[in-house]
Chains A and B, each alone.
Chain A
Amino acid sequence: QKEVEQDPGPLSVPEGAIVSLNCTYSNSAFQYFMWYRQYSRKGPELLMYTYSSGNKEDGRFTAQVDKSSKYISLFIRDSQPSDSATYLCAPNRDDKIIFGKGTRLHILP
């Protein structure tokens, strides 16, 4: 089993929809959970992070972690065309960060 798994997509949704992006991981040692966003032909940039289980909200974005099921989610409310990008989940522990393959998201105007 791979350490981090994400559905690569692409995921196409109409503007204004709620988007749900998901990720599973296998290593229970992961304690920190990050989401990076990567626009086409650019480097990834940190979008949000959480520590341990629970929810964290930042504007239209909500990150959710369920450590018992090793499941990570990112919700985007009122999605905009500018949200079109690849979203990489990145669980990590004290010594290393592991990036998922990313889910390509396309918001249709």
Chain B
Amino acid sequence: DTAVSQTPKYLVTQMGNDKSIKCEQNLGHDTMYWYKQDSKKFLKIMFSYNNKELIINETVPNRFSPKSPDKAHLNLHINSLELGDSAVYFCASSEKGGGGLDEQFFGPGTRLTVL
């Protein structure tokens, strides 16, 4: 029974397209996150939501728009895809959010390739 799931697992698309990645957690956590892991394996936070409210919004192009319909789901929509968007995108969740000793549980990742 998967705790944090993401779809799709792989996404190959052309430059300029718009795409979405979906994330769901069944842990009952209040906070969800989106991370980007680039080719150099650097894991960088993009957004976090606590109970559907945006908490962290790092310096991310506004082509990226997160949407949280409820606290168990956090989707990521990307407009006008660029080559530099190619990366692995991880969704994560944690019980409370905000750092501290709050363990984050990660999904399996979505490998996005922009051609």
User: Which residues does A use to contact B, with CB under 8 Å?
Assistant: 8, 31-32, 34, 41-46, 49, 51, 86, 88, 92-97, 99, 101-102, 104
Asked, given contacts A32-B99, A92-B100, whether A8 binds B41 with beta carbons under 8 Å apart, the answer is: yes
Which residue of chain A is the closest to B40 with respect to CB atoms? A101
CB of B109 within 8 A of CB of A43, answer yes
Q: How far is the CA of A32 from the CA of B96 in the complex (A)?
A: 15
Q: Which of B40-67 touch A at CB < 8 Å?
A: 40-45, 56
Q: Write out, one digit per residue, whether chain B residues 103-115 have a CB within 8 A of any chain A CB (1) or not (0).
A: 1111111000000
CA distance A83 to B4 in the complex (A): 23
Kindly state the separation between the CA atoms of A87 and B35 in the bound complex, as whole angstroms. 17
Q: Point out the residue from B44, B90, B103 that lies within 8 Å of A43, measured CB to CB.
A: B90
- Chain B positions within 8 Å of A32 at CB level: 99-101
Q: Name the residue in B41, B44, B105 with the highest tally of chain A Cβ atoms < 10 Å from its Cβ.
A: B41
